[in-house]
Structure 1
Amino acid sequence: MKFSVDEMRTPPEVYAWSRFGQQEYTTFLDENLSWQETCSIGDWSFLWQHWFRGPDVLELFSRFSVNDYSRFAIGQSKHVIHTNADGKVIHEGILTRFGDEEFMLHGRGGFWMRFQAERAGLLVSVEQDDWFILQVSGPNAIKVLQKLDPSEGYLDTKYMWVAPITIAGHQVHALRQGMSGEVGFELQGPAEIRQKIYDAVFEAGQEFGIRRMGGRISLINHLQASYPTIATDYIPAIFEPDTAEYLDFFLSSMPPNAKPAYIAGSYPGKEISEYYRSPVELGWSKVVLGSGFLGAEALLAEKADPSRVLRTLVWNADDVTDVYASLLRPGERNHTFMDMPRDQKGFMWADRVEADGKLVGVSTSRGYSYWFRQMLSLCPIDVAHAGLGTDVTVVWGNPGDPEKRIRATVAAAPYKPNKNAADLRAVAR
C-alpha cells in the first residue's frame, strides 16, 4: 500500500474530533490551569492494551524495542519505544511487569509486538484486553486519593512503579506516572468499572478544585511537559516497503472509528519518511539503552553524535496576534487559521523553522498555554541552533496560503519544570 504526502495533506473530509470525549467541561482556559493549581482528571481509556505472557517475553521486547530489560522488577513500568531498521519510531507505550512471565503493554505498540510475536518463534502468548486509564495529576491530586483510600501505602510508590489502591470498593492499579509533569497517578483497571472509578474520583475531588480535561486542552500538558505524541509530533515509520505486511495487519486491527493521521503546515516534505522521527529527535535518548534491537546500528550512532535535539519554541506574541488580526482586515486574504488552544482535527501540523533563511528544524504541537500566556511548540532542531535563547523563525501557513514569519526563541524541553518525582509524603502534608 502506497501513501503519498499529498494524500495525507488533503483528507477527503475535514472534521474536528477528539479521542478525549467532550471538547470542554468548563472552559479550556480553566482546565489548563487545573493541573498546575489544583488537580485534573483526564481519560486515556481509548488506548489499547495487550497482555504478553510466557518465558520469552523479555527476549521478544529486547529484539523489538530500544530499552534495556536486565533490571525489570515485578511492579515496575517502562516507557518502551519500537523503531524500524533506520532507527525511526514506529510506536511507543508503557510496559508494566505484573508477574515473572506476565506483562501488559499500553498503546499502539501492542499491535507491533503482537505482529512480531507471531513470527519470532518464541514462547509468547498475546491477548488484547480493555482497561481504563484515568490520569489524576496536580498539587491536590494526592489529597484526592487520600480521601478515597486513607491507607496511604501508595504514597511510597517510586516514579514508574505500580501500587494497589482501593477506590469505590474496587482495588485497582495506581501507576505513578502522568503527562502533565506534576505529581499524580494513572489509575488502571478493567473497563467495566471505569465509570465507578471516574465518578468516585471526581466527587472526591470537588473540595480540592478538580477539573475534567476536555479534548481542547488535553494535549497542552504534553506540550508544556514535552511528551511528543504520535500523529501530532511524528508519523509512525510504517509506510515503507519493509513494513508493508505490518501496515496491512495494523490497519485491519483498527476499530471502525479509528481516525487516520493527516499532515498540515508549511514544512515542504516530499516523502512521508520526512515526517518520521527518531527517539533522539524526540528527546528520548535516555531510554535508548538496549543493543541488538531492530534499528540499533543507526540509532546508537545517532545517540552518540546527534544532529538534532528536542527543544520548545516560544512564539513572539505580536507576530501571533497579527495572524488573528488578518481575519479582521477587509479585503485582505487572511493567514492560515490558528486554532485555539491547538489544532482540533488531529493533524500533524509541521512548520518550517529557519535561521538566516536556512531550514534548521520542524515545529510541531503548536499550542496556547494559558498558564504561561504564551504560544509554544515542540521542535527537533539542529544542534548548532539548539542553544537556549537562540532566535529562530517559524514559517506559519498551509501551502497556498499567505505565509507569516513568526519570530520565536529556543527554550528548554520540557518547558514546564517537571515535578513527577517529588516526595509524595511531603506533598501530602
Structure 2
Amino acid sequence: MIFAPDSPIFEGSNVQTNIGFGWVPAEYSTTRDEFLASRETASIGFVLNNSPVYDVTGPEAAAFLNSVAVNKDFGPLETGASKHVVICNEQGYILADGVLLKLGENHFRTYWLAPVLDFFLTKSTLDVTGTWVLDEYFYQIDGPKSLEILEKVTGSDLHHLRFAQNATVSIAGAEAVVHRLGMSGALAYEVHGPSTVAREAYRQLRAAVEEVGGRPQGFWNYSLVNHTVAGYPNQVIHFLPPYRDSGPELAAYMESVIPFDIGVHGSASDDLSNAWVTPYDIGWGYLVNFDHEFPGKAALQAIASNRPRKVVTLEWNADDIGAAYSAQFRGADAVVYDRMSNDPVIAIADYAVGRMRIDYVLLNGEKIGLATGRTPAFVENRMISLAWLDVEHAAEGTEVTVLWGDIDHPKIEIRATVAQFPYYQGEFRNEKFDTSSIPRR
C-alpha cells in the first residue's frame, strides 16, 4: 500500500528511516524547510497511515464508550461530529488518547484509542462489537493554503468546516472524509479514504501542495517538531502510557500486541512514573467529566481538588545549550551529549529505537516539574520543550533550570524561561481561524 517501496511517498525523499513497521521517508528537503511550509504555504504528510483505526458498533456502543473514557455523553453526539477521547488507568494516568468520529447510529470510528480500547471491549458484557479497520488511507494537509488546496482537489466548498468538523467529498474518484484537524497548530485538514485509491489521492494532493510552493513532510518533522510547537502532547514524544503497570491482564494483552518496551532516558528517568501523565498534567483536564463511572475516576477527583500541575512551554537558554554540547568533551567528567541538536539525523535515533527523554525542572535546586519533547522552533529560532510544572511556578516569565544528563552520568543545568502555551498562537491557529477571510474558488 502506501509504504511499499514503489509508493509515491518516496518520490523526492533524500533520507529514509525504519520506524518499526517498515521504511518511510524521513526527510525530503530539510526539517526546517518542511516545517516552515506549514507556516507559510502548506505541507502534505503521510505518517498517520500507521494509525490504529478501530470501529465500535452495536446497540450499546455509546454506553460502552461512556464506561471506559473520562469523557461522557457519546450517545447524543451528532453523526459526523468528533471528540478527543482519553482513557485512563485506575491511578488516573493516560493509557490512550485519540479522536472518535461518529459515523452513524451506534457506529463510532476511533483513531489511536485501540489497542487499549480493544482490551476493554473484550472484557465488556455490553452488546458491542469492535472491528479493526485496515483499508483506510490517512493524509494531512497542513498550513495557510490547506483549505484552497483541498477545495481545488475535491471541487467542494469546505469553508463551512470549523475546527474538529468534517465533510464527505470525492478524491481520486472515490469518497473521502475531510476533517479539520492538524498537528502544527496552523490551519490544517486530515483526509481519509479507501486504500484502493491511496496512491492516486496522494499524487493529486501532493501536486496541489507543490503548485502553491508547499512541500511534502517527512517523518522527522512530523515526529520531532510539530507537536511541541503546537502544544499537542503526544505519546512517545512527550509521555508514555503505563501499559505494564496497570494490572496483569492489561500488561499481558499489551505484550501480545506491542511486544517491546519503550525506554526512557534523561535526568528524570530514575523513576519510570515520571513518564506517565494525567489529563491535568498536560492541559486536558477540561475533558474529564465526573458525572459517570470510568477507570481512574477516584484518582482524578483527588488530583483535581489538589492543585494539579500545569503544562507550559519552556524556552531554553542558547548559551547553556552550547555549554551542554561542549560538556561531552571534558574527559572523565563529561556530560553525556544526548542528541541535543538541530540535526534530526541525530535526534530521530531515539524515536526510532523507541526511547523518549524526560528531565527534571528545578527552581532554586528543588524539583518542581518535568521537561520533555525538546525541539527547535524554526520560526522563532529557539530551542523549546513542553513541561509539566507545579502550578505556583508556572507563570510566564518564571526562570527555571532543566537538569540535563542521564542517570549515573554527570549532569549540567540549562537555564529556561516559562513561555506561552501553546507556543504557536499565530494568525492561522486552527482552533480560532475564521476561514471566511480566504477567497472561495
TM-score (norm 1): 0.89
Report whether the alignment pairs 1:124 with 2:128.
yes
Q: Report the CA distance shift for 1:208/1:304 in structure 2 as closer, same or farther (over 3 A).
A: farther
C-alpha distance in structure 2 between counterparts of 1:389 and 1:339, whole Å = 23
Instruction: Give the distance between the partners of 2:414 and 2:366, measured in 1 at CA.
Output: 15
In 2, the alpha carbon distance for the partners of 1:251 and 1:146 equals: 43
Inter-CA distance 332–118: structure 2 relative to 1 (3 Å threshold): closer
In the other structure, the counterpart of 1:34 is: 37
Q: Do the aligned residues in 1 keep the contact of 2:244 with 2:250 (CA within 8 Å)?
A: no
Could you say which residue in structure 2 is the equivalent of 1:247?
A: 251
Corresponding residue for residue 171 of structure 2: 167
More displaced 10-residue stretch of structure 1: 58-67 or 244-253:
244-253
**Residue correspondence of structure 1 range 73-152 to structure 2 within 5 A:** 73-107=78-112, 109-130=113-134, 131-152=136-157
In the alignment, is the contact (CA less than 8 A) between 1:269 and 1:275 conserved in 2? no
Give secondary structure in 1 for the equivalent of 2:27: coil
Find the residue that maps to 2:25 and give its secondary structure: coil
Aligned match for 1:390, one of 381, 387, 398:
398
Aligned to 2:380: 372
Q: Structure 2 counterpart of 1:420, which letter?
A: N
- Please name the residue that 1:279 is paired with: 279
Give the AA of the match of 2:334. Answer: R
* 1:3-402 aligned within 5 A: 17-18=18-19, 21-43=24-46, 44-69=48-73, 71-107=76-112, 109-130=113-134, 131-152=136-157, 154-219=158-223, 220-240=225-245, 242-254=246-258, 260-270=261-271, 272-290=272-290, 291-326=292-327, 333=334, 335-341=336-342, 343-344=347-348, 345-346=350-351, 347-402=355-410
- How far apart are 1:331 and its partner, in Å? 9.0
Please identify, of 74-83 and 207-216, the stretch whose mean Cα deviation from structure 2 is larger: 207-216
Question: Separation in 2 of the partners of 1:150 and 1:48?
Answer: 29
> SS in structure 1 opposite 2:396?
coil
* 2:269 and 2:406 in contact (8 A); partners too: no
Q: Deviations over 1:365-400 (max 9, x none)?
A: 011111210111110111111011000000111123
Contact 1:263–1:350 (Cα < 8 Å) also in 2: yes
* CA positional deviation for 1:264: 0.7
Range 384-393 or range 296-305, more displaced: 296-305
Among the aligned pairs, what percent are the same residue?
Answer: 29
Moved more, 35-44 or 287-296: 287-296
Alpha-carbon shift at residue 329 of structure 1 (Å)? 7.2
SS in 1 for 2:438: helix
* 2:435 is aligned with 1:424: yes
Whose relative contact order is higher, 1 or 2, with alpha carbons under 8 Å and at least 6 apart? 1
Alpha-carbon displacement from aligned partner over 1:115-162 (angstroms, at most 9, x marks no partner): 22222111111110122221111011111112212321x221222122
Q: In the alignment, is the contact (CA less than 8 A) between 1:142 and 1:428 conserved in 2? A: no
TM-superposition CA deviations, 1:66-112 (whole Å, max 9, x none): 112264110011110000111110111111000011111111x2222
**Partner Cα separation in structure 2 for residue 259 and residue 173 of structure 1:** 34
Q: Distance in 2 between matches of 1:111 and 1:307?
A: 28
* Pair 172,373 (structure 1): closer, same or farther in 2 beyond 3 Å: same
1:313 deviation in Å? 0.6
SS at match of 1:186: strand
SS at match of 1:206: helix
Aligned match for 1:412, one of 412, 420, 424: 420
Cα deviation for residue 36 of structure 1 reads: 0.7
Offset, 1:17: 4.6
Aligned residue identity for 1:75: G
Instruction: Name whichever of 116-125 and 81-90 sits farther off.
Output: 116-125
Distance (whole Å) between structure 1 residues aligned to residue 399 and residue 312 of structure 2 = 13
323 and 100 in structure 1: CA distance in 2 versus 1, 3 angstrom threshold: same
Contact kept in structure 2, 1:336 and 1:396, CA below 8 Å: no
C-alpha separation in 2, matches of 1:157 and 1:114:
31
Specify every segment of 5 or more residues in structure 1 that has no aligned partner in the other structure, as ranges.
1-15
Question: What is the aligned-residue RMSD (CA, Å)?
Answer: 2.1
Q: Number of residue pairs matched?
A: 407
State the secondary structure of the residue aligned to 2:115: helix
